[in-house]
Every structure is written in structure tokens, then in C-alpha cells.
Structure 1
Amino acid sequence: MKLSEQFSKKHHESWVAFFRELHESSDPRAARLMDEFGQVAHRIRQLSDASLEASGLSYAQFRVLMSLRYCEWAGNCGGLNPSEISDQQGTSRNTISALIRSLEDAGLVERQLDEEDRRRFNIHITDAGRQIIAEHAAKHVQLVNELFAALSQDDIETLGRILQTLNHQTDMMKDTNPGPSRR
């Protein structure tokens, strides 16, 4: 057993014990899985951040650019307003405003008045923003392919079904336990 595996096992055991102390009804399997999810998500984020570092973009900025590029690619929108971006990203409106401002300062997005409601404006990706997406798409695809190459086709299908179930469950929980609004 590798040292990292020994540490990981000790870490999980410690984490489960900690969770159990927080509340006696804690399911140790669920605590272990949440810890694993967190570690995998953190490591993927680190890899993504490293690939974006050269461009000076944060992961959050890149996600905004991706939303705008997808909207443009799908052909079903004339840009997105800041509230739509905030809702898509699950981020506060203040945070999105700061992200948009920094992307605008870098020349990656631009504001345009909404054609239907001249009191509002929509955010559009620029040619420079499209170029950033194109450069990082290949790196991102390589990262995703390499990550999932560790799984068999059956494992990928099983994981997909499990994640769909968890997404459905969190949607149901969100409907019955609404959190604070993101304003």
C-alpha cells in the first residue's frame, strides 16, 4: 500500500469519526463518500486552474466565458444578462458583476444594450474571449479524457447513473429546503 493510500485511509477514518461526533446519526459511508467527492473535485479544480494560469484567468472567469460561448454556439440567445449568468453559475450577483468587470477590462466580453429592453444590457463574448476558449478547450478535453480513462465503460455508465440520481435528489432537496437567495 502506497503512503498516500495509507494517509488517505487514515484521513477517511478520522473524517468519519469527526462526522460521527458532530451528529450521532451520521452515516459513515456517506461521510466517506462526501470526503472522496470533495477531494476529487478539489484535485480537478487544481488541474483546471493550472491550465488556465498562463492566461491569467480564474476558473470562475473561465466558466462565465464558457456560458457565453455556449449561449452563442447554441444560437438561442443574444448574450446573457448578469442575472442569468449569476443563476447559471450559482454565484451571487455581486460576484458576477466583479467577474464581468474584470473580463470586460481584459477585452474578453462586452456589454450591449438589450434590444428588447433598452434599460438592460447583455454580456457578449468577444473574439479575444472566443480565442481563450479555443485555446483551453483542447487542454480541458485532454484533462477530462485522461481522468475518465481510469474507469471502465461500465464504471463510467454506473457513475453517470449515480450522479444523475444525486442531481435529482439535490434538486428535490432544494425545492423543499430553499436556501438564501443569491442577490
Structure 2
Amino acid sequence: MADPERMLEPKHRALLDESARRGLPSADGVRLCFQLLATAGAIDRDCAARLAPRGLSEGKFVLLFLLHGQAGGLSPHELAERAGVTRATVTGLLDGLERDGFLRREADVIDRRRVQVVLSAKGKAAGAQLFAEHTQWIGGLFGGLSASERKRLAELLAKVWRATDSGRAAMEESER
């Protein structure tokens, strides 16, 4: 098994060393947080490295995925809402995807003032291939875990998330 310390960034190791030197009781929790951040960062970097050769960012990939299977397309507003980003961000992502030939903007058949975003043939092919590859890769990250371990990990991550300020706020919001 790999040494958990090796996965940590130098700044995190320094903070842990200082926490240990001071004898802080929360050092174990801090270590786990840093391990989780290191794992998430590694996944994020790997994702970016896998998409970059195709000229895609994670944001562009998400839009390709959302548009894939939508024969009539989606409006930029719908894409922004579904992707959880601003309209300005979607506009920039769409501009890049359109420039690279993955999609086109078309006037809505019912209301020509509205725009629908549809995938081009290149976008459909890339979306299907990338989705298959990406989901297989992501699933493979957890391939070494048994079904019960994956379930337990999901439960533990949810428990930690609920302890965050963001998690508590989301829980409160959902109870309203």
C-alpha cells in the first residue's frame, strides 16, 4: 500500500507537521481532509489530461454530454442551468465548441428569436466516444473496491459533506 503522506502536497505536509509539533488533537481530521483534497485534485488533473488532446475542458465535455441525445438541442439558458454555471460561462464554452466544429447554434423553429444549440456530426461522434471512455475510466478508479466498500465510501463522503457549511446549507434549503 502506498504511503498516504506521499499523496499530500508539500504545503499540506508542512501544516500536518506543524499540527503534530503543536500536539493539536484535530491532526487526524486535518490529515483526512488533505488526503481527500489530494485525491480529488489528482482525479481533476487526470480528467483534464484525458480531455486536453481533444481540445476539450471539463466544462466543454459537460456541455457535449448534456447535448448528446437531445435531437432538438437545448437553449444556452437550459445548458447553463443544467451545467450549474452562469450564462456568460456557457457562452464562452459554446463559442469554443462551435469554433472547433462540435456544435452549431440554430434559430428555434417555433420562436426564431430563441437559439437552440445542437451537436454537429463531429460533436455527436465525440460525445458518444468520450462518454463511453470517460465513464469507463471513472468507474475504473473504484474498481479495486468491493460493492460494500463503494457503498460505505459513499456513505462516509456524504456524512463528511453534511458536516461542511455548504452541506448544511443545502440540507437546510432542501428542508424548506
Normalising by structure 2, we get a TM-score of 0.73
Query: % of aligned pairs identical?
Result: 27
Alignment CA distance shift 1:68-1:152 (3 Å): same
Shift of 1:107: 1.3
- Which position in structure 2 is the counterpart of 1:156? 150
Question: Residue in 1 aligned with 2:53?
Answer: 54
Aligned residue number for residue 83 of structure 2 = 89
Count of residues in Structure 1 that have an aligned counterpart in Structure 2 = 166
| Aligned partner of 1:103 among 97, 111, 122 | 97
User: Quick one: structure 1 residues 94 and 152, their matched pair in 2 at CA, closer, same or farther if it must change by over 3 Å?
Assistant: same
Q: Does 1:142 align with 2:136?
A: yes
User: For the residues of structure 1 that align with 2:18 and 2:87, how far apart are their CA atoms?
Assistant: 38
Specify every segment of 5 or more residues in structure 1 that has no aligned partner in the other structure, as ranges: 19-26, 178-183
Letter of the 2:169 counterpart: M
Deviation at 1:108?
A: 0.6
User: Which of 121, 124, 144 pairs up with 1:130?
Assistant: 124
Residue pair 1:51, 1:139 contacting (<8 A) in 2 also: no
TM-score relative to the length of structure 1: 0.70
Alpha-carbon offset, residue 15 of structure 1: 5.4
Structure 1 CA distance for aligned equivalents of residues 78 and 27 of structure 2 = 38
Which ranges in structure 2 are unaligned for 5 or more consecutive residues? 20-25
Distance 1:34 1:69, change over 3 A: farther
Letter in 2 for 1:63: V
| In 2: Cα distance, 1:6 partner to 1:30 partner | 14
Residue 24 of structure 1 is matched in structure 2 by: none
Cα contact 2:107–2:116 (8 A) shared by 1: yes
Backbone CA RMSD of aligned residues: 3.5
Distance 2:121 2:137 in 1: 25
Structure 2 counterpart of 1:14 = 15
Which deviates more, 4-13 or 135-144? 4-13
Distance 1:149 1:57, change over 3 A: same
**Alpha-carbon distance in structure 2 between the residues aligned to 1:90 and 1:127:** 26
What residue is the counterpart of 2:23 in the other structure? none
Deviation at 1:90, TM superposition (A): 2.0
